[in-house]
């Protein structure tokens, strides 16, 4: 099917479609827990939803690895420096393992505080703490796996991660079916069973990537090499991106605190709404990965104009896709939310959220692709500045004021999507100025 498109489109679609599918499946794997525990109770939904959201701070650290790996390896590959790219991959794998150990330990012991800070129901706290603590055991596997995925993406191979993810999502559903509900003689672990299944799947995914790497089934040559200079170059791009992602997730946590004030059903509805919205924009994130890779490879090959044209073409596809998906969020949100829960009040709360954010999908597409492209060029500090200002002065502070003076949560959601519009316009102006062409990585 792709071969019928013009050659410039083929290059983008071969990168974007597998990456989009992989991103979608990645989100599905995360929310599988939420969907299946939704049949237990609203307390289980709130516990797992808030637990997954709190884990996003850990995944913000993963952004450091993802963006840093993509930025330097795509440039090396674009310039034909395969040996240099292999040395960079080896360095980042070692760093990922080293970084995952303290993160896992800290999160295990402090996970209970997340639920206490939000003053959630004792039943939610009890379920949530056991869920998050089990999930911390998957951190080393997730960190190493992400470096492999980012490296393959940087090399233009987005199909291998997609194939691995398809198998893992099926396995995850099977394990949840067995361990959450205690089917076929397995213990009925409830919320904890969902976490155990997720840990097992991530262990197996990492094992597959290690096998492919050692058996030379990828572009990269297995080497045992550590370079402080290459790590420093990756961190130069990765650290601002990680801070930016932390700010984004922090704002989501602050919104959870506001929503929790309206009751357990409102909190559960918000958590489900976030997961559904995540399903809608995960394909867009797949195109964002393509924008990041194409930007890095283009600049590595000393072809900035080609990189710009590729990014704009990716943007057109992303806008079209997210515009199409917004119709489902605006007009039939109840049909989607029903997959997560059959609680009437939770469905109503989640549907309200989805209708509001449905109107922000096009500017969200601009934000995703352009921020990804600018990071791919190595200018992560620029996107950090934009996010810092927009998040605090357009989203967080207005939302707190509105929640303080008005009863309706609708106004809080309006403040949230206003931030999306502001960021989209700002990023477009920065991209058009073209200063990213002089960025050194």
Domain boundaries, the chain: 20-438
Do the beta carbons of residue 72 and residue 234 sit within 8 Å? yes
- Longest Cα pair distance anywhere in the chain, in angstroms? 62
User: Could you read off the pLDDT of 353-398 as tens digits, one per residue?
Assistant: 999 999 999 999 999 999 999 999 989 889 999 988 998 899 888 8
Query: CA 412, CA 406: separation in Å to the nearest integer?
Result: 9
Q: Of 282, 191, 243, whose CA–CA distance to 61 is shortest?
A: 243
Where residue 280 falls among pLDDT bands split at 50, 70, 90?
Answer: confident
- What is residue 171's predicted lDDT score, i.e. its pLDDT? 93
Of 162-166, 189-193, 277-281, 304-308, the one with minimum mean pLDDT is: 277-281
pLDDT at 349 over 70: yes
- What is residue 4's predicted lDDT score, i.e. its pLDDT? 67
Report the percentage of the chain scoring pLDDT > 90: 47
User: Could you read off the pLDDT of 169-183 as tens digits, one per residue?
Assistant: 999 999 999 998 888
Q: Which two tokens stand for residue 256?
A: 């959870």
pLDDT at 253 over 80: no
pLDDT at 85 over 90: yes
Where residue 422 falls among pLDDT bands split at 50, 70, 90?
Answer: very high
Do the beta carbons of residue 357 and residue 277 sit within 8 Å? yes
Averaged pLDDT of the chain: 87
**Total length of the chain:** 441
pLDDT at 441 over 80: no
Q: Of 332, 387, 353, 393, whose CA–CA distance to 256 is shortest?
A: 353
Query: CA 417, CA 163: separation in Å to the nearest integer?
Result: 34
- What is residue 1's predicted lDDT score, i.e. its pLDDT? 60
- What is residue 385's predicted lDDT score, i.e. its pLDDT? 92
Helix pair 139-154, 159-181: axis angle to 10 deg = 160
**What three-state secondary structure class fits 229?**
helix
Higher pLDDT, 31 or 188: 188
Do the beta carbons of residue 68 and residue 23 sit within 8 Å? no
Of 16-30, 115-129, 143-157, the one with minimum mean pLDDT is: 115-129
Q: Which two tokens stand for residue 177?
A: 């079916």
Q: What number is the average pLDDT over the span 413-427?
A: 93
- What is residue 26's predicted lDDT score, i.e. its pLDDT? 76
pLDDT at 275 over 90: no
DSSP string across 212-227: HHHTT-SSSPP-----
pLDDT at 348 over 70: yes
Query: CA 17, CA 336: separation in Å to the nearest integer?
Result: 23
Within 13 Å, how many C-alpha atoms sit on residue 232's CB side? 4
Where residue 37 falls among pLDDT bands split at 50, 70, 90?
Answer: confident
Which pTM does this prediction carry?
0.84
- What is residue 228's predicted lDDT score, i.e. its pLDDT? 92
């Amino acid at each position: 099917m792709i071969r019928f498109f013009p050659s410039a489109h083929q290059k983008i679609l071969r990168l974007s479609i597998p990456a989009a599918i992989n991103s979608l499946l990645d989100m599905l794997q995360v929310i599988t827990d939420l969907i299946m525990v939704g049949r237990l109770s609203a307390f289980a939904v709130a516990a797992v939803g808030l637990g997954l959201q709190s884990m996003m701070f850990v995944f913000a650290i993963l952004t450091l690895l993802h963006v840093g790996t993509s930025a330097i390896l795509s440039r090396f590959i674009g310039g034909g420096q395969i040996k240099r790219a292999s040395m960079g991959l080896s360095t980042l794998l070692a760093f990922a393992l080293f970084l995952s150990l303290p993160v896992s330990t800290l999160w295990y012991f402090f996970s209970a505080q997340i639920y206490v800070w939000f003053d959630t129901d004792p039943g939610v706290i009890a379920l949530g703490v056991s869920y998050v603590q089990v999930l911390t055991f998957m951190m080393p596997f997730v960190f190493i796996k992400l470096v492999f995925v980012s490296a393959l993406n940087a090399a233009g191979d987005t199909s291998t991660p997609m194939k691995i993810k398809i198998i893992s999502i099926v396995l995850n559903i099977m394990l949840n079916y067995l361990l959450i509900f205690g089917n076929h003689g397995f213990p009925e672990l409830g919320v904890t069973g969902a976490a155990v299944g997720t840990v097992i799947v991530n262990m197996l995914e990492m094992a597959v990537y290690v096998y492919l790497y050692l058996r030379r089934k990828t572009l990269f040559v297995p080497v045992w090499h550590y370079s402080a200079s290459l790590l420093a170059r990756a961190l130069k791009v990765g650290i601002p991106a990680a801070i930016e992602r932390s700010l984004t997730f922090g704002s989501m946590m602050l919104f959870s605190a506001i929503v929790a004030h309206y009751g357990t059903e409102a909190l559960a509805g918000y958590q489900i709404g976030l997961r559904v919205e995540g399903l809608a924009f995960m394909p867009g994130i797949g195109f964002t990965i393509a924008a990041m890779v194409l930007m890095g490879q283009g600049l590595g090959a000393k072809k900035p104009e080609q990189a710009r044209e590729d990014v704009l073409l990716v943007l057109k596809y992303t806008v079209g896709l997210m515009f199409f998906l917004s119709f489902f969020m605006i007009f039939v949100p109840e049909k989607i939310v029903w997959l997560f829960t059959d609680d009437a009040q939770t469905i109503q709360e989640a549907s309200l959220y989805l209708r509001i954010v449905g109107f922000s999908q096009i500017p969200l597409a601009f934000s995703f692709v352009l921020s990804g492209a600018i990071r791919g060029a190595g200018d992560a500090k620029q996107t950090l500045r934009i996010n810092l200002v927009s998040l605090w002065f357009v989203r967080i502070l207005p939302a707190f004021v509105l929640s303080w003076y008005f009863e309706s949560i609708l106004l809080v959601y309006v403040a949230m999507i206003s931030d999306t519009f502001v960021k989209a316009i700002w990023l477009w102006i920065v991209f058009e100025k073209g200063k990213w062409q002089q960025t050194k990585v």
